[in-house]
Amino acid sequence: MSAIWFFEDANLFKVLCPHKFRNYKKDHDFDAYKKSDYIYFEEDSANKVYLIEKGKVKIGYYSENGNEVVKAILTRGELFGEKAILGEDRRTEFAQSVDNATSICPIGVQTMHDLMRDNQTFSLKVYKFIGLRFKRLERRLQLLLFKDTKTRLLEFLDELKEDFGYCCPNTGDTVIQHPYTQRDIANLIGTSRPTLNIIMNELKESKKIDFNRREIRLKIVA
């Protein structure tokens, strides 16, 4: 199944932002956030949903012993806070900027409901997104509970390949140009950055992958 960690092949900002709808554009602004700024906290009122114009946003919660659990790291064009559309009145997670120049399009729940009522295509895209998000989180939970760290990384790389990969015409390798740091990837697969680095280097030494800061290359095994 593609798009476990990501909403597959879609920039929802292009479709859902109220700026695209004449009746809503004049009353609509963007919010700017710096790195580590919170968009909302757990238990905040859930009266808006949010689209990312640029930057990255981390979605997560804190366990009973105070450990941070990262559910998703989202990038340009992705939607979050969507459970407010389904009637959630309090947040069960936090949303935090992880870039120094994150721009967010906030949309009131009533505005979303109005847009969904007036535009069937819009409504279907929103419900499709919510369904894929739930499937993705369910799949990720299964991986975290039942797979070892190396397997989780390999399946994550397979998902990255689906969303960001292309075939290098010179070598036949799959090149993945992605927006995530090693810390992002470690958070998403439920491990530490040092452990991730060890496994990445083991895969590199066995000539299965090569990588740099923004690119991972899946090598063809002879």
Rounded alpha-carbon distances, angstroms, from residue 37 to 8, 95, 101? 27, 9, 10
Q: Phi and psi for 210 in degrees, rounded to 5?
A: -135, 155
Q: Which helix (H) or strand (E) holds 219?
A: none
Query: Left if phi > 0, otherwise alpha if psi is -120 to 50, otherwise beta: which for 82?
Result: alpha
* pLDDT tens track for 121-157: 778 877 887 787 777 777 777 777 778 999 989 988 9
Extract the runs of DSSP E, i.e. beta strands, from the chain.
31-33, 38-40, 48-54, 57-62, 68-74, 79-80, 94-97, 102-108, 165-167, 174-177, 209-211, 215-218
b/e string for 95-104 if b means 16 or more Cβ within 10 A?
Answer: bbbbbeebbb
Highest mean pLDDT among 17-31, 60-74, 91-105, 150-164: 91-105
Q: SS3 letters for 115-149? A: HHHHCHHHHHHHHHHHHHHHHHHHHHHHHHHHCCH
Q: Tens of pLDDT along 160-183? A: 888 789 999 988 999 999 888 888
Angstrom distance (rounded) from CA 89 to CA 85: 9
The whole-angstrom separation of Cα 98 and Cα 85 is 25
Q: How confident is the model at residue 3 (pLDDT cuts 50, 70, 90)?
A: very low
14 — pLDDT class (breaks 50, 70, 90): low
